[in-house]
């Protein structure tokens, strides 16, 4: 069934589409378990990469068959997603048989179901520099048929700076989660750029946060299997069987680089973006790297 491209609307101060709000009551009343692991991100910040790393850390040794039979989006359900004729994200999470459950969300911090806080769940937030994030989001919206049409690059960039993207403003998202981390110790805040630069080091930090004693040999194996080219060749992680994506337009694992924004921003766009960025980020200690 061809699903229509949705309209963006204001939802409690955040731009959203109905594919992420139609199941709102069930999302807000979702019952977390203390050992749930949440992967939270602004869209296109490396969600699938982190989800896959976590899945391998927890389940490769005990459930190896999972690696060749279950696509990553079924192993790690997308909490707020609801599309016709498919189980909702909450249903998928509620019927997961593995423990811990690894659950993906793009919700800004103020929308996270309260049960996750009450159960003191571990949350991994992965953030990506704004310039690469918006480029990746642009190409994704070209191919993702349940996202609003992106329009041309310059109008998309303009909408991004205005926060009129699905899941709202990038600035508010990354800063909101950063502030929450100062008060809630079970958030591990990580960066896409660090993962690109030194995946092994980030794996170690993740294991330490999660209290996992994964062997060095297994960590090496995971590091190898989560490389861009390996994930891109793996039908369980490249999303080629996701029927809402149009692979004739772009790729899900598109470039996986830091600095691809330089191939998209004009000099004028870059100057305007930097000016606006400085204003919006002036009250945070959060720092990003847009090149390595």
Residues 6 or more apart in contact with residue 248 via CB below 8 angstroms: none
CB 90 within 8 A of CB 115: no
Q: Please select the residue that binds ligand A3P; options are 18, 142, 255, 289, rule is CB under 6 A.
A: 255
CA torsion 249→252→256→258, rounded to 10°? 70
As to burial, measured by CB atoms within 10 angstroms (0-12 exposed, 13-18 middle, 19+ buried), residue 120 is exposed
Residues 6 or more apart in contact with residue 109 via CB below 8 angstroms: 40, 173, 176, 177, 179, 180
Piece in contact with ligand A3P (CB under 6 A), picked from 31-39, 82-90, 200-208, 250-258 = 250-258
What are 144's strand-pairing partners?
245
d(CA 133, CA 160): 10
Site track for ligand A3P across 195-234, x = CB under 6 A: -x-----------------------------xxx--x---
Annotated active-site residue in 106, 171, 173, 264: 106
Closest separation in Å from C-beta 279 to ligand A3P: 25
3-state DSSP assignment of residue 24: helix
Q: Is 48 an interacting residue with respect to ligand A3P (CB under 6 A)?
A: yes
Closest separation in Å from C-beta 227 to ligand A3P: 6
* Window 137-156: residues binding ligand A3P (CB under 6 A): 139
Site track for ligand A3P across 167-196, x = CB under 6 A: -----------------------------x
Site track for ligand A3P across 95-134, x = CB under 6 A: -------------------------------------x--
CB 42 within 8 A of CB 14: no
Q: Is 254 an interacting residue with respect to ligand A3P (CB under 6 A)?
A: yes
Q: Is 41 an interacting residue with respect to ligand A3P (CB under 6 A)?
A: yes
Is residue 264 among the annotated active site residues?
Answer: no
Tokens 């999470």, located at residue: 93
Q: Please select the residue that binds ligand A3P; options are 136, 161, 169, 238, rule is CB under 6 A.
A: 136
Q: Which is nearer to ligand A3P, 73 or 111 (CB)?
A: 73
Distance of CA 226 to CAs 97, 183, 250, Å? 24, 31, 21
Catalytic positions, please? 106
- Which residues of this protein are in contact with ligand A3P, per CB under 6 A? 41, 43-49, 132, 136, 139, 196, 226-228, 231, 253-256, 260
């Amino acid at each position: 069934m061809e699903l229509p491209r949705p309209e963006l609307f204001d939802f409690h101060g955040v731009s959203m589409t109905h594919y992420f709000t139609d199941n709102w009551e069930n999302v807000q009343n979702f019952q977390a378990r203390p050992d749930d692991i949440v992967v939270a991100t602004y869209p296109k910040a490396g969600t699938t990469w982190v989800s896959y790393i976590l899945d391998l850390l927890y389940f490769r040794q005990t459930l190896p068959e999972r690696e060749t039979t279950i696509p990553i989006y079924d192993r790690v359900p997308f909490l707020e997603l609801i599309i016709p004729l498919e189980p909702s994200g909450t249903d998928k999470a509620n019927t997961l048989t593995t423990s811990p459950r690894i659950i993906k969300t793009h919700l800004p911090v103020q929308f996270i179901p309260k049960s996750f806080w009450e159960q003191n769940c571990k949350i991994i937030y992965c953030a990506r520099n704004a310039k690469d994030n918006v480029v990746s989001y642009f190409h994704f919206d070209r191919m993702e048929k349940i996202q609003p049409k992106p329009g041309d690059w310059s109008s998309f960039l303009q909408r991004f700076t205005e926060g009129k993207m699905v899941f709202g403003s990038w600035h508010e998202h990354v800063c909101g989660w950063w502030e929450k981390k100062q008060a809630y110790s079970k958030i591990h805040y990580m960066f896409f750029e660090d993962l690109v630069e030194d995946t092994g080091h980030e794996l170690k930090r993740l294991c330490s946060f999660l209290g996992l004693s994964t062997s060095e040999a297994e960590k090496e194996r995971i590091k190898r299997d989560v490389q861009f080219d390996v994930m891109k060749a793996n039908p369980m992680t490249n999303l080629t069987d996701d029927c809402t994506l149009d692979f004739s337009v772009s790729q899900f694992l598109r470039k996986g680089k830091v600095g691809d924004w330089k191939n998209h921003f004009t000099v004028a766009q870059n100057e305007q973006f930097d000016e606006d960025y400085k204003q919006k980020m002036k009250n945070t200690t959060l720092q990003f790297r847009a090149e390595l």
